Amino acid sequence: MADEEEPEKCGKCSKEIDGGLSVGCEGKCSEWFHLKCAELTVKEYNVIKGCKRLKWFCDICYESEVIKRTNDEVIKEIKQLKDQISRLEEKVSAIKVDDNDNVKYSNAGAEEIKQRSEAAIIISAKNEDINKHTSIQNDLKGAIKPQELRIGVNNMKTTGAGKVKISCEKKTDILKLKSEIESKLGSKYDISEVKTRKPKIKIVGINENMDKDELKNTIIKQNELVIRSIRSGYYSNV
């Protein structure tokens, strides 16, 4: 006579699974549980049984298999996203804008943008009676010789309240110019560096599979105003 199979026992209470409703764990343990031990209602049981895609796991298997697997997948996805961001940052930091609004790739691109956005000063008269654009410009032209200082001046323009703004190609040039004006005209005029804003660019709809041309055209299209501001040498609050 063949040995009778041992009756199935509940994985939680260890009592026999009788003819009542029970549910099997889809995890490694493969044990069966009374509905009460599984903390399932009859309605929930019917939903699980009625949908082949639904799987039920006991607490131990859920914690050791489902949660761990989910966490591992999330960690892997985060690492992939960080790698993608790093590659995009390398591409963006290598962008250089020339005077024709063309984008070229250079390791010094980001530093050049920073320098060009900061190189400006404001000159204003200490005496309100002479606080006129013409007086300031005439005095500057008579006393300051950029060629002798070996500096590159982008332009000189008037601003509100009778002030004059001068921008240079480099931060070092504007500091040299500021020192020269203070030395020769400091008793008559106040000279202050422009408080600048760092240019911010908008980057949306970009993925790591873009080649350089696609990336360039996308960034230019999204940031035409910023690029024009960088090109002019002015990116300030003034």
Q: What is the pLDDT of residues 98-133, one digit of tens each?
A: 545 554 544 444 444 444 455 888 888 887 665 566
- Whole-number pLDDT of residue 151: 86
Q: Find the mean pLDDT for residues 31-43.
A: 93
Please give the C-alpha separations between residue 176 and each of 96, 121, 152, 183, in angstroms, as whole numbers.
25, 11, 11, 11
Segment holding 83, helix H or strand E: helix 68-93
Cα separation, 223 vs 14, in Å, equals 68
pLDDT at 114: 46
Structure confidence at residue 228 (pLDDT): 60
Any idea what the Cα angle at residue 51 is, between residues 47 and 55, rounded to 5°? 85
> What is the per-residue pLDDT for 238?
38
The confidence score (pLDDT) of residue 124 equals 86
The verdict on domain 118-193 having CATH code 3.40.109.10 is no
User: Which amino acid is present at 223?
Assistant: N
* pLDDT, position 37: 94
Stated pTM of the model: 0.37
Convert 34-44 to b/e letters by CB count within 10 Å (16 or more is b). beebbebeeee
Task: With both helix axes pointing from N to C terminus, report the angle between 212-222 and 68-93 in degrees, rounded to the nearest 10.
Answer: 80
Average pLDDT over residues 146-174: 84
pLDDT: which is higher, 13 or 228: 13
Model confidence pLDDT, tens digit, residues 11-35: 999 999 887 889 999 988 999 999 9
pLDDT band with cut points at 50, 70 and 90 for residue 78: confident
d(CA 163, CA 13): 87
- Cα–Cα distance measured from residue 41 to residue 51, given in angstroms and rounded to the nearest whole number: 16
Q: What is the residue type of 182?
A: E
CA distance 234 to 197: 10
Rounded-to-integer distance, Cα 230 and Cα 114, Å = 9
pLDDT at 13: 93
Give the pLDDT mean for 161-180: 86
Give mean pLDDT, residues 149-173: 83
* Rounded average pLDDT over 198-221: 70
Cα 40 → chain centroid? 46
Under 8 Å between Cβ of 159 and 177: no
Q: Which of 106, 159, 156 is nearest to 132 (CA)?
A: 159
Q: What is the structure's pLDDT at 217?
A: 77
Q: Closest Cα to residue 172, out of 150, 139, 199?
A: 150
